[in-house]
């Protein structure tokens, strides 16, 4: 059995290498080796110094990277502030959209960018810093480390409505989730493995309260999502989301293990304890459920490898390279 798992891990490692090679001509490993040789080391050292003091930052960095890549590609458009317009008008940005209002990593990324800028002004993109910092933060909390192809450039446009339209919602069923992922060039496996990021981090009651109180529209504690474990739902109503309108209480995505990058998220799914409807959806499809069952029974190294592979694939969505976009001096604003 151990030999079989070893073979699988080796195959997955090859898959990561192949996925990286697919970025040929766009992204490449070591993109900054000549222009800013210490760039990746600077990001890594900053993350290693600060994330242990606030380990929940790892989850928000992954989520920020994910939300960025699903709107206009991985171009750091999610980091841009709203633009000011004449007469007090202006365009609201992606970070103003509801799915992004709870992202908390913007100041952290601004500080990382400032340190890199001191070393190499105008060379390293915010999009690459986000991809690298996400990877390094996962490694710091005990998750996998993978090689990140770099060479992304930063976008100049960020529109609130696009984030509302394109970021997968926690209320989605499997069909809608898969359609959302396929629209970005990802597949069922990527959907399952990237959802595994929910092994860390937190949510708020308003993201899933309908599963507890108003699943069919009748309302009340008796109107819970039948796919949710009864005891788990009762505990959430009793200790966390005490009222249907609670939108401030924080809930662990992976209870008891939300700061540890492990397999407990998948094991919870099989017990019908996925927090979001989109989590529960993963075991409603035969192929996705088979992946969940397989990884839940295996060693964590297998999950680490498949998660890394899918992060590499996600990090290539719609990238801007060459003369496209720009290298922002400050991640929150386009260059003047």
List residues forming the annotated binding site for heme b: 198
Residue 120 to residue 38: CA distance in whole angstroms: 9
Q: Is 50 a catalytic residue?
A: no
Q: Which residues are annotated as a binding site for Ca(2+)?
A: 68, 71, 73, 75, 77, 94, 199, 254, 262
Query: SS3 for 138?
Result: helix
Choosing from 65, 67, 204, 330, the catalytic residue is: 67
Instruction: Determine the straight-line distance between the first and last CA of the chain, rounded to whole angstroms.
Output: 59
Residue 186 to residue 86: CA distance in whole angstroms: 40
Q: Which residues are annotated as a binding site?
A: 68, 71, 73, 75, 77, 94, 168, 198-199, 254, 262
The whole-angstrom distance between residue 31's C-alpha and the CA centroid of its chain comes to 23
> Maximum Cα–Cα distance for the chain, whole Å?
69
Given a contact cutoff of 8 angstroms between Cβ atoms, the answer to whether 291 and 172 are in contact is no
Name the β-bridge partners of 28: 150
Query: SS3 for 65?
Result: helix
Residue 37 to residue 6: CA distance in whole angstroms: 34
Tokens of 41: 């080391």
Q: Which residues are annotated as a binding site for substrate?
A: 168
For residue 318, the tally of other CB atoms under 10 A from its CB is 15
* Helix, strand, coil in percent for the chain, rounding step 5: 50, 5, 40
Residue 166 to residue 72: CA distance in whole angstroms: 9
Closest CA to 198 of 78, 303, 94: 303
Looking up tokens 């900053």 gives 46
Residues labelled catalytic: 67
């Amino acid at each position: 059995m151990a030999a079989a798992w070893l073979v699988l891990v080796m195959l997955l490692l090859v898959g990561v290498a192949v996925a990286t090679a697919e970025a040929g001509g766009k992204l490449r490993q070591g993109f900054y080796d000549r222009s800013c040789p210490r760039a990746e080391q600077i990001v890594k050292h900053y993350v290693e110094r600060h994330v242990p003091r606030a380990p929940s930052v790892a989850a928000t960095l992954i989520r920020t990277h994910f939300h960025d890549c699903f709107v206009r590609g991985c171009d750091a458009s999610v980091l841009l502030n709203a633009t000011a317009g004449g007469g007090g008008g202006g365009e609201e940005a992606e970070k103003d959209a509801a799915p992004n209002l709870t992202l908390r990593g913007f100041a952290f990324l601004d500080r990382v960018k400032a340190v890199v800028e001191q070393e190499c002004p105008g060379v390293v993109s915010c999009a690459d810093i986000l991809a690298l910092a996400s990877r390094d933060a996962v490694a710091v909390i005990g998750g996998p480390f993978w090689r990140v192809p770099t060479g992304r450039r930063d976008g100049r446009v960020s529109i609130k409505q696009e984030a509302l339209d394109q970021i997968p919602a926690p209320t989605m069923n499997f069909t809608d989730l898969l359609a959302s992922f396929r629209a970005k060039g990802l597949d069922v496996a990527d959907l399952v493995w990237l959802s595994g990021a929910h092994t860390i981090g937190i949510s708020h009651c308003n993201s899933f309260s309908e599963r507890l109180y108003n699943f069919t529209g009748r309302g009340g504690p008796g109107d819970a999502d039948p796919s949710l474990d009864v005891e788990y739902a009762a505990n959430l109503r009793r200790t966390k989301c005490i009222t249907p309108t609670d939108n401030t209480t924080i809930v662990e995505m992976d209870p008891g293990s939300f700061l540890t990058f492990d397999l407990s998220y998948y094991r919870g799914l099989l017990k019908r304890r996925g927090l979001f409807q989109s989590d529960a959806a993963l075991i409603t499809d035969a192929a996705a459920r088979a992946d969940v069952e397989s990884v839940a029974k295996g060693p964590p190294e297998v999950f680490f490898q498949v998660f890394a592979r899918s992060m590499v694939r996600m990090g290539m969505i719609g990238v801007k390279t060459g003369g496209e976009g720009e290298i922002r001096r400050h991640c929150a604003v386009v260059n003047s």
